[in-house]
Amino acid sequence: MSQAEVTMSTRPVFPNLAEAARRIGTRKDLSQVEFRELLCRDCDFFHEDHEDDLECSCFRMLRVIIERGVMSPQQLAAALDAIEKDDTK
């Protein structure tokens, strides 16, 4: 495995989600800004200077999962972390 492949495999795929989830904790009553910070910042299509109300289907799906208490932000981050660790095996 090359050094670039090692670096890619150890770098989190969703670093902003993980950081936001740590700050938010288990709350499910998030503001629109908090949802965007949690769910959108790692997306290639995210632009910080855009304040529009457009929502992709992934955003809507994950927002419903959190709002209905199916998963907390921390549980979502932990699930993604587990997937990333499994992918590096």
pLDDT in tens, 12-40: 678 898 889 989 988 889 998 899 889 99
Is pLDDT above 50 for 8? Answer: no
Count H helices and E strands in the chain, helices first. Answer: 5, 0
Read off the pTM. Answer: 0.72
- Residues whose CB falls within 8 Å of the CB of residue 23, separated by 6 or more in sequence, listed in order: none
- DSSP code of residue 42: T
Q: Average pLDDT for residues 75-82, to the nearest whole number?
A: 89
